[in-house]
Amino acid sequence: MLRTLAPLLIAWLACMAPARAEVVLGALLSLTGPGAGLGIPERNTIDLLPRTVAGEPVRWVVMDDATDATAAVRSARKMIDEEQVDAILGASATPASVAILDVIAAAGVPAISLSGSSAVIEPPEGARRWAFKPIPGERIAAAQLADHMARAGRRTVAHIGFATSLGDGYIAALNAEAAARGIRTVAELRYNPADSSVTPQVLRLLAARPDAVFVAASSTPAATPILELRARGYAGPIYTVQGIAGPDTLRVGGRALDGVMFSAVPVLVAEQLPDTNPVKAPALAFVRAYEGKYGPGSRSLFGATLWDAFLLIEAATPRALAAGPPGTPAFRTALRDGMEAVQGLAGAEAVFSLSARDHSGAQADSQVMVEIRGGAYRLLKDAP
């Protein structure tokens, strides 16, 4: 009899417990390790955000996963079990974001990944039903890069990328888009984010004599093959992904990064956008807030990703509050459902229209082509 009544008693006590008077958000970030260039500006951005959402106070729980997937799983469990977070913003890197999927799904806690790969959210079924990602997917970036290559008359491309899901996703996407435009892949190499040298891989790339090189990597490790390519005399075009963008990478890469091109979220070149671009105003709002606190030129697309992740939480919270108080399963489920219903939200990185089948929602026409030149980012307005 007691065994029969025990679950009912627990459920009754849960219902009688006082509603929690705050929304608790977890920030699972790479504050150390190879991805620190991603996580530090994300952490900086938290200090710029309002301390209320839909009239409710917000409490942040920040944890460092050291750019390690195993550590990310431990931290996600701690956030959920001990801190009872309503949502997790993170992880910073793709492998860690994928690693925590089963944890968030089992707990019914939505997570907004700050990483680049669509492997985190596609297909939006099972555990991925609880995962979101503001950064535009690989296909959007790959289509822009392949279009640029084709218009420039480049017929062959060689790839070098991380030996992770990020590298796999971006290279697969560019292979498909390039092939559709008659561009042939002549080499495909991998390296690890912690590798200090990629000389063997670069020598194989150069031996293939490509018209262009594509680097599928992020943060400061993205500069490693570019530095080696330039040191070996390669003067051809280099394309990469927007994960390269950041003050630390610009410092490490120096002049070797001049001319490197990538498809990017508009916040990097906010002032250069036409006034008709719907992202310009929210992008400038982020830039003014971030650079106002951290200094001119300090803007970061990684910080902007966390900024936009908070905008998604902010947009979905009224619906969640109507379903139940913070700290309850009803609130967290409605928060997930509310993010799926967001339409036409202009953020610092894109215009977002989400659905149950699209957990990014970033619109392709929000993205721009950018070139690194003299340690700064330049909007590429016209195709070659």
pLDDT at 101 over 50: yes
| Higher per-residue pLDDT: 311 or 219 | 311
Mean pLDDT confidence for 90-118 = 96
**What phi and psi values does residue 378 have, to the nearest 5 degrees?**
-125, 130
The answer to whether residues 48 and 289 touch, using CB atoms and an 8 Å cutoff, is: yes
Express each pLDDT in 262-297 by its tens digit: 999 999 999 999 999 999 999 999 999 999 999 998
pLDDT at 4 over 90: no
* Cα–Cα distance, 358 to 135 (Å, whole number): 12
Residue 92 structure tokens: 């910073």
pTM for this model (two decimals): 0.84
Q: What is the pLDDT of residue 365?
A: 84
pLDDT at 360 over 90: yes
Go through the chain and tell me how many residues it has: 384
Percent of the chain exceeding pLDDT 90 equals: 87
Please determine whether the domains at 2-136+292-366 and 138-264 fall in the same fold group of CATH. yes
Side chain identity at 127, as an amino acid letter? A
Mean pLDDT confidence for 355-374 = 93
The answer to whether residues 56 and 321 touch, using CB atoms and an 8 Å cutoff, is: yes
Query: In CATH terms, is domain 2-136+292-366 a member of 3.30.70.520?
Result: no
C-alpha distances in Å from residue 134, one per residue of 76, 231, 309: 19, 35, 6
The residues, ordered by sequence, that sit 6+ positions from 123 with a Cβ below 8 Å of its Cβ are none
B/e letters for 116-141, b = 16+ CB within 10 Å, e = fewer, are bbbbbbbebeebbbbbbbbbbbbbbb
Express each pLDDT in 232-252 by its tens digit: 999 999 999 998 998 889 999
pLDDT at 10 over 50: no
Mean pLDDT confidence for 347-373 = 94
Q: Region of 298 please: left (phi>0), alpha (psi -120 to 50) or beta.
A: alpha
DSSP 83: S
Q: What is the pLDDT of residue 382?
A: 65
Q: What is the pLDDT of residue 5?
A: 45
B/e letters for 68-78, b = 16+ CB within 10 Å, e = fewer, are bbebbbebbee
Percent of the chain exceeding pLDDT 70 equals: 94
Q: What is the pLDDT of residue 347?
A: 96
pLDDT at 12 over 90: no
Residue 212 structure tokens: 């262009």
Give the residue from 6, 161, 34, 29 showing the smallest Cα distance to 90.
29
Sketch the domain layout of the chain as residue ranges.
2-136+292-366, 138-264
Q: Cβ of 214: how many Cβ atoms within 10 Å?
A: 27
**What phi and psi values does residue 285 have, to the nearest 5 degrees?**
-60, -45
pLDDT at 105 over 70: yes
Average pLDDT, the chain: 93
CATH of span 138-264: 3.40.50.2300
Residue 336 structure tokens: 């997930």
B/e letters for 298-319, b = 16+ CB within 10 Å, e = fewer, are bbbbbbbbbbbbbbbbbbbbeb
Q: Cβ of 323: how many Cβ atoms within 10 Å?
A: 16
